[in-house]
Chain A
């Protein structure tokens, strides 16, 4: 134990003594809170979860630690969190991925390990819209040029994604459906980085990635952004039209949210929701998020629950459209 948590620990126990043990339930939290992060260090989830943990620590006056349980596209973390004791001391930081596992499992006739019902949404922290990108060797200057050409040669243009049924695969499938009669060939890779690399090297021609992941390549001219799947244009890419402007009703964001396991007592959930709301509003958190090239996309529990439902429905649709592959 380092000195700081020692000091915090003693003040906390002093406070507990002063209020008396009869009110113990109201004094949540009384010890370290763990946020299980289902994605590897250095990724967006990690970079968003750490500052929120730091802000929460100041609000709760108790240590809030991030415990990385990465693997299997976030499924390991989700499973660990769903199996954790629902006492408010184990939370989960996850992203879009959490929506799709059950549907994919159903597709393969497997018993789902976790479903959306296993988690209580607490807050959405960021939402990074995705952009349709082609490399500089492609002739397309607008989305229309691309769609017209791609329709002429179905199953020829290759797009890369960070993984099958993943958050950079689903928007392309939604786009194909929205256009109608569009068929692109899918090249799955193992992550957002490799997916961008394969387009940069012209091993694939198109990819859909977040603004923050693609911004430097768009600025350098290696990638061209044709459209953004957001409700309004991005400040970082003001010249890129939204899908709505181009006539397609499409929005897709890569979001990061916090969850509590099912069964967490309601009073603890509301304490957490309030505290996360405060944490997301601190300058410290805002600066950290701006630095990694994102905007704070905070939504409280109620709004997030609504958003999640719509988002998950989209994801389910896309998973069904993709179907079971060879």
Chain B
């Protein structure tokens, strides 16, 4: 512990060198820009700027690239809240309640809560990274396909809490998402599924085109400008800050989101995508007022945003401690280190303490920088809403197209976005909520692969899900949740769903 402190202090001495501070700042600034501009997500941002870092040394390169990564997680919520465009999968849930808050004139408050939540979660993640990285990383390796399957089963059960529409509607949306998620090459057998001979569909349908279409474009299609004229959504200056009541509502979700996100973040693989979805479902399950979710619940912004940021920090644990990438972004970071002859791995701490501790310390600094950078920007961002809607929505369409195109420079993706926009417009007419569809799309390829991998490992024996401690634990939670809902169904207790139905029936 003491040696950790000494090393960390050494790290701070590296991080506080003016040149390193400068690169951390540049990274955070570009990250914020990348995050705020819809669609151009952290991966494309880092990939584009990777060649620039070849001229720097390893420490500066990784400080700057990591700054872009976590900086973009801060900025990612902005367009979700203001325009309902999710820049990436992890901000889909923010679109729901963040945008609803914006429509109630609480855009500034939502942005502030997202920024502060991100700061707390990010800092929590780094403290955990500093203190417990190596043992946790070894534990994370135990998370193989069976554990993944169990975690995703839990995610599927949580689907039921995702939406305020009826269970049948929620499940239908999830099934649609699951089916969309199965498009593309089947990794296990090499079959092309439902790809209609389009190579672009080989890797499946991207989450960004679907989410931007369903949420961003779908919203525009169902909102004619004559319906919004005269309605001012932009708040006054003193209304920008959250009220004491809102802070109180946000506190616990931020704390829970930080812990949940970090745990999911350290799992090698792509599990971190579902951290914000799980946090949303968890908050809704724990909330005293679940009926507020979807209509601008503060917890629905605070929880997922914190979970998302904490998970992105957690993803550094296996990368730094074991040298294994947890996703495409950490893979690029490892590549950036390799270019400088530094190999990420168990020896990183001992062979390159300057890089390791300088990097860790720079994340503390970077998170503070981001908070100081983002809070003053809230006022500026909110003033976007002062643009009359007739002028704003063509701008949003433009950003939807750029954003989706820039992800992989594929025009097919942009067509998918348009189709999904029209589909989203149709869904609204019939009272369907698109959020479960996106979660289904996210889960489908992961769930299918891990299920089939597990069965390969066990040679077709389903007991594998109950014979490994972590998988067993998660499965027991699943069973308990199912049993609880079955029980409450049979007891016909008036749960929030029926209350909501009664309330809605009363309105009409």
Are A and B direct contacts in the complex by CB distance below 8 Å?
Answer: yes
Within the complex, the shortest CB–CB distance from B232 to chain A, in Å, comes to 43
Given contacts A110-B192, A164-B188, contact A187 B200 (CB under 8 A): no
Within the complex, the shortest CB–CB distance from A99 to chain B, in Å, comes to 15
A189 touches B453 (CB 8 A): yes
B409 touches A203 (CB 8 A): no
B322 touches A71 (CB 8 A): no
Nearest opposing residue in chain B for A186, CB measure: B456
Nearest opposing residue in chain B for A216, CB measure: B345
- Interface status of B340 (Cβ within 8 A of chain A): yes
A288 touches B185 (CB 8 A): no
- Interface status of B230 (Cβ within 8 A of chain A): no
B50 touches A104 (CB 8 A): no
B338 touches A291 (CB 8 A): yes
- Interface status of A217 (Cβ within 8 A of chain B): yes
Q: Which of A26-84 contact B (CB under 8 A)?
A: 40-43, 46-47, 50, 68-73, 75-76, 79
B200 touches A201 (CB 8 A): no
A293 touches B202 (CB 8 A): no
B324 touches A222 (CB 8 A): no
A164 touches B347 (CB 8 A): no
- Interface status of B325 (Cβ within 8 A of chain A): yes
- Interface status of A307 (Cβ within 8 A of chain B): no
Q: Which one of B200, B268, B449 has the greatest number of beta carbons of chain A within 10 Å?
A: B268
CA distance A123 to B91 in the complex (A): 44
Nearest opposing residue in chain B for A222, CB measure: B346
A42 touches B199 (CB 8 A): no
- Interface status of B473 (Cβ within 8 A of chain A): no
- Interface status of A220 (Cβ within 8 A of chain B): yes
B202 touches A76 (CB 8 A): yes
A201 touches B185 (CB 8 A): no
Q: Which of B430-467 contact A (CB under 8 A)?
A: 449, 453, 456-457, 459
> Which single member of A41, A108, A194, A324 contacts B268 (CB below 8 Å)?
A194
Q: Which of A275-294 contact B (CB under 8 A)?
A: 288, 290-293
A292 touches B453 (CB 8 A): no
CA distance A107 to B457 in the complex (A): 26
Within the complex, the shortest CB–CB distance from B470 to chain A, in Å, comes to 11
- Interface status of A113 (Cβ within 8 A of chain B): yes
Instruction: Report chain B residues within 8 Å CB of A222.
Output: 346
B324 touches A200 (CB 8 A): yes
Instruction: Report chain A residues within 8 Å CB of B334.
Output: 42
Instruction: Report chain A residues within 8 Å CB of B249.
Output: none
- Interface status of A165 (Cβ within 8 A of chain B): yes
Within the complex, the shortest CB–CB distance from A88 to chain B, in Å, comes to 22
A292 touches B338 (CB 8 A): yes
- Interface status of A21 (Cβ within 8 A of chain B): no
Instruction: Report chain A residues within 8 Å CB of B338.
Output: 47, 291-293
CA distance A146 to B187 in the complex (A): 28
Instruction: Report chain B residues within 8 Å CB of A68.
Output: 47, 409
B188 touches A216 (CB 8 A): no
Instruction: Report chain A residues within 8 Å CB of B322.
Output: 200
- Interface status of A196 (Cβ within 8 A of chain B): yes
CA distance A229 to B189 in the complex (A): 26
CA distance A290 to B338 in the complex (A): 10
A72 touches B346 (CB 8 A): no
Interface residues on A, range: 35 or more
- Interface status of A177 (Cβ within 8 A of chain B): no
- Interface status of B336 (Cβ within 8 A of chain A): yes
Q: Which of A175-224 contact B (CB under 8 A)?
A: 185-190, 193-194, 196-198, 200-201, 203-204, 215-217, 219-220, 222
Instruction: Report chain B residues within 8 Å CB of A200.
Output: 141, 322, 324
Within the complex, the shortest CB–CB distance from B272 to chain A, in Å, comes to 14
- Interface status of B144 (Cβ within 8 A of chain A): yes
Q: Which of A149-177 contact B (CB under 8 A)?
A: 155, 158, 163-165
A220 touches B50 (CB 8 A): no
Given contacts A71-B408, A72-B185, A217-B345, contact A42 B202 (CB under 8 A): no
Nearest opposing residue in chain A for B319, CB measure: A193
- Interface status of A325 (Cβ within 8 A of chain B): yes
- Interface status of B328 (Cβ within 8 A of chain A): yes
CA distance A173 to B42 in the complex (A): 37
Q: Which of B298-356 contact A (CB under 8 A)?
A: 318, 322-325, 328, 331-336, 338-341, 343-347
Given contacts A75-B202, A76-B200, A217-B323, contact A187 B453 (CB under 8 A): yes
Instruction: Report chain B residues within 8 Å CB of A247.
Output: none
- Interface status of B203 (Cβ within 8 A of chain A): yes
Given contacts A164-B190, A197-B141, contact A50 B54 (CB under 8 A): yes
> Which single member of B54, B145, B188 contacts A325 (CB below 8 Å)?
B188
Given contacts A219-B347, A220-B347, contact A41 B335 (CB under 8 A): yes
Given contacts A42-B50, A68-B47, A71-B200, contact A187 B142 (CB under 8 A): no
- Interface status of B247 (Cβ within 8 A of chain A): no
Given contacts A164-B188, A222-B346, A291-B339, contact A42 B333 (CB under 8 A): yes
CA distance A197 to B347 in the complex (A): 17
- Interface status of B394 (Cβ within 8 A of chain A): no
CA distance A196 to B331 in the complex (A): 13
Instruction: Report chain B residues within 8 Å CB of A219.
Output: 345, 347
> Which single member of B46, B143, B203, B453 contacts A71 (CB below 8 Å)?
B203
Within the complex, the shortest CB–CB distance from A90 to chain B, in Å, comes to 14
Instruction: Report chain B residues within 8 Å CB of A203.
Output: 144-145, 453, 457
- Interface status of A20 (Cβ within 8 A of chain B): no
Cross-chain pairs A/B with CB under 8 angstroms, 17 sampled: A40-B332, A42-B47, A47-B338, A50-B51, A72-B184, A73-B202, A76-B200, A113-B199, A187-B457, A189-B187, A197-B324, A201-B143, A203-B145, A216-B345, A290-B341, A324-B190, A325-B189
Top 9 A-B residue pairs of the complex, sorted by shortest distance between their CB atoms: A42-B335, A72-B202, A216-B345, A42-B332, A203-B144, A41-B47, A201-B141, A291-B341, A220-B346
